[in-house]
Amino acid sequence: MFNERARGSEFLDRPDADPRLVEQGYKFMKVVNRIGGGIRVVRKFLEQELSQSADVAGPTVLDIGAGDCDIPLAITRWADTHGYEVRFTCLDHDPKAVELAQDRIARCHCRTIQAVQADVFTYRPADKFDYAMGSMTFHHFTDDEIDTLLAHLRGFVRKAVLINDLHRCLANYIACFLLALPLDREIRHDGLLSIRRGFKPHELARRLARHDPNAVARRMWFCRVAGVVRFDREAHVG
């Protein structure tokens, strides 16, 4: 069951997904990101980058498949307390997700985050980003699509891409099942399928090495795998 990445479609990826389920799904992802280490992975990555890059006082970050922007909002609160200004562009193909994100951004009065509806595979920004990241996003893609996307990102990301995703294992599957028990069956289905579509560190590292021979992928806190592809040869990989 966990030897290979699963295939299949998730209910929330459908164009006709029930808006109530979409909102419930993002609330569940927010819980998973908070207690399962998703926010921690991004914070640790940016903290290391900012401590080592004196030339990036206010980095720009493209968040791919950002959903309702819970991670960028959490990172912005952290950055504010540490004297950084991290500017996020939150990209999602789903108009419902972008609407939720824009509402949250407005309620938080955050001026350093913008939500944009677009397909990342055809997205062409006017200016380059310092970094790109995807949190629980890359497991939605096939291996070939990951290759295509990383090649595409190389055209407008200066420094590195962070893949912040799910570790595919029985323990995470059980934890997801228990957390999602009170929720609608569609949310349980999507959560469990996401675990089965996730990554093991060695296989993610092997895939990323096609784009950066020194790419790293590691098991992180609780249910996460983090991989980094660098586009700047001189930068240190932590």
List the structure tokens of 70.
């819970």
Confidence band of 134 (pLDDT split at 50, 70, 90):
very high
For residue 57, the model assigns a pLDDT of 62
Tokens 């980094």, residue located: 228
Model confidence at 210: pLDDT above 70 = yes
Among 7-11, 154-158, 199-203, the least confident range: 7-11
- Asked whether the beta carbons of 69 and 62 are under 8 A apart, the reply is no
- pLDDT band (50, 70, 90) for residue 221: confident
The domains located in the chain, with CATH, are: 11-230 (3.40.50.150)
State both tokens at 231.
Answer: 């586009």
For 226-235, what is each residue's pLDDT tens digit?
A: 999 999 975 4
Residue 237 has pLDDT above 80, yes or no: no
Three-state SS for 137? Answer: coil
For residue 91, the surrounding DSSP H or E stretch is strand 87-92
Q: Which amino acid is at 8?
A: G
How far from 129 is each of 117, 151, 206, 210, 231, CA to CA, in Å?
17, 15, 25, 22, 12
DSSP-derived secondary structure letter, 219:
E
Residues 128, 195: Cα–Cα separation, whole Å: 32
Residue 164's DSSP bridge partners are 135, 226
